[in-house]
Structure 1
Amino acid sequence: MIYIDNRQNKIEVTEKLIKNVERIIGYALKEEGVNIDSEVSVIFIDNEQIKEINKEQRNIDSITDVLSFPMLEYEDGSVYKEVYIDYKFCEADLDEGKLVLGDIVLSLERAKQQNQEFGHSFLREVCYLTVHSVLHLLGYDHMLEEDKDRMRKREEEILNEFNITRN
């Protein structure tokens, strides 16, 4: 189950945008081996809101594009398909039978600025940020160069399946 909640009013949220976000999350989860009913929440906000959350949650007083709040724990360098693919989740891990993977908080205002800055479409930027964040929910990180390379490769592989390129 993918929940999308628009809590901003600066950028229009179209049905096309919502459908693409839902499709790309569903595909990424399937490709990463999530074979159990699961939940991901996506909250669209603006720059002011994400700056507040970034300061509150990470003690960083600046605007960012997307924040991920995974519910599962991973050892450094491990990802869902290496840890949880055949894991038997108990009832305490589930919410009404669904595995809660986490929340994605995405500033559409920042995504709009970045799509213009990078010279690609708004849809591409939102889909990229969504895939990036979903991979964080599944244990991927980019603190070490080898982890960053692994994550970037998966992001591009997933986006390419939808013909979402930088152009």
Structure 2
Amino acid sequence: MIFCVEKEVEAEFDFDLESVAKLVCEAVLESENCPEEVEVNMLITDDDGIWEMNREFRDVNRPTDVLSFPNVEYDEPGNFDVFKGNQRNDILNPDTGKIYFGDIVINVNRVKSQALEYGHSEKREFAFLTAHSMLHLCGYDHMEEEEAKVMEEKQSRILDNLGITRD
């Protein structure tokens, strides 16, 4: 996996953001049996930065915790047959020859506040948001109750397997 993190803001955490993010992203790809190397970009921002993006791209005028911008359109979640089809050239980065999977945007303010609210570590919250977003990049959603249940189970299993639990 090619993984790139850009920080719009500085944030103090007792863990390394980049290594935790990469670990979680790789775990999601492995759990979904992704057959190819992919590229993922992550942007670390704050309330103002994510509010602007939420307004611009989703027409939602408030900050949020995480945004996902998938570059791949799936026939069904987690079905990577699209990598083999005619769409392949549209999702391939010509500079690297890898599938450009998508972008993740994480709000550090929400990582901190939601960790407090939910009573777990900031590392757990950051890892959860990363896993959640990666599952969106794999085509999963949570608009319907059954979809939400599938995503929640996958998120929990991935984080449990990594030992990133709700201390």
TM-score for both structures, normalised by structure 2: 0.90
State the match for 1:84 in structure 2: 81
2:114 — aligned with what?
114
Q: CA deviation at 1:163?
A: 1.1
Shift of 1:110: 1.2
The Cα of 1:40 is off from its aligned counterpart by: 0.5
Q: Report what 2:25 is aligned to.
A: 25
Q: Is the 8 A contact 2:7 2:43 kept in 1?
A: yes
* Contact kept? 2:15, 2:123, Cα under 8 Å: no
Deviation at 1:27, TM superposition (A): 1.4
2:2 counterpart of 1:5: no
How many percent of aligned residue pairs carry the same amino acid?
35
Aligned partners of 1:84, 1:28: CA distance in 2, in Å?
17
- Return 5+ residue gaps in structure 2 as ranges: none
TM-score (norm 1): 0.90
Q: Which runs of 5+ in 1 are unaligned?
A: none
**Cα displacement string for residues 30-77 of structure 1 (whole angstroms, at most 9, x for unaligned residues):** 2112121210001000011101100011110011000000001124xx
> How far is 1:93 from its partner?
2.9
Residue in 2 aligned with 1:39? 39
- 1:136 is displaced (CA, Å) by 0.2
Matches within 5 A, 1:8-157: 8-9=9-10, 11-12=11-12, 16-75=16-75, 78-80=76-78, 82-84=79-81, 87=84, 90-95=88-93, 96-157=96-157
* Pairwise CA RMSD: 1.8
Report the AA paired with residue 5 of structure 1: E
Could you say if the C-alpha distance between residues 90 and 148 of structure 1 is closer, same or farther in structure 2, counting changes exceeding 3 Å? closer
Q: Structure 1 residue 25: deviation in Å?
A: 0.5
